[in-house]
């Protein structure tokens, strides 16, 4: 008799459990990313705020337009515990450096070590060897207005 009850319970509850997994990740929603970078050498400090989205615990944010100075794209998976090593890539918008350090219009990439909770997150840029890297911090804030729509540029890329 117990086997029959177990089978019926599995038949009745199985679709609900599968549906719960398809709903999305814990962090899913529209977010605002605030990035602040300290001055480094002759390069001034700056701050950017831009929309981001998390879908199925996959983070995607973008500032400016691809292949343009000032462009930054951030992507990465967020673990169930909220930790992530997000990948950032972009194009230098402005450089007051000279010689080999004059990078305006050149591309760059780095890793952001981040930690998310249900509605907020923080991160820091991995400075690598520290020659060109500068200290950058990130604050992530989940938007509570469910009617808000992100611009098309902030929509995560589809898996191929």
pLDDT tens column, 54-72:
999 999 999 998 877 789 9
Please give the biggest Cα pair distance in the chain: 81
2.40.128, 3.40.50, 3.40.1350, 3.30.1300: CATH of 24-154: 2.40.128
pLDDT at 15 over 50: no
> Domain extents for the chain?
24-154
pLDDT of residue 4: 56
Other CB atoms within a 10 A radius of the CB of residue 39 amount to 12
DSSP SS3 for 102: coil
pTM of the complete model: 0.71
pLDDT at 34 over 70: yes
Cα separation, 63 vs 7, in Å, equals 52
Structure tokens at 114: 């981040």
Cα angle 68, 72, 78 (rounded to 5 degrees) comes to 155
Beta-bridge mates of residue 124: 113, 137
Q: Which residue has the tokens 């019926």?
A: 8
Structure tokens at 102: 């004059």
Confidence of residue 88 (pLDDT cuts 50, 70, 90): very high
């Amino acid at each position: 008799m117990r086997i029959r009850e177990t089978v019926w319970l599995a038949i009745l509850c199985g679709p609900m459990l599968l549906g719960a997994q398809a709903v999305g990740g814990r962090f899913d929603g529209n977010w605002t990313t605030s990035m602040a970078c300290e001055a480094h050498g002759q390069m001034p400090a700056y701050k950017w705020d831009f929309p981001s989205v998390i879908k199925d615990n996959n983070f995607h944010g973008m500032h400016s337009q691809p292949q343009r100075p000032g462009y930054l794209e951030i992507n990465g998976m967020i673990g169930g515990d909220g930790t992530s090593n997000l990948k950032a890539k972009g194009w230098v918008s402005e450089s007051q450096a000279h010689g080999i350090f004059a990078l305006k219009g050149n591309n760059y990439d780095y890793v952001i070590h981040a930690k998310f909770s249900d509605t907020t997150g923080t991160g820091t840029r991995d400075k690598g060897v520290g020659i060109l890297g500068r200290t950058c911090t990130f604050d992530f804030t989940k938007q509570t207005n469910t009617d808000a729509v992100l611009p098309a540029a902030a929509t995560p890329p589809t898996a191929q």
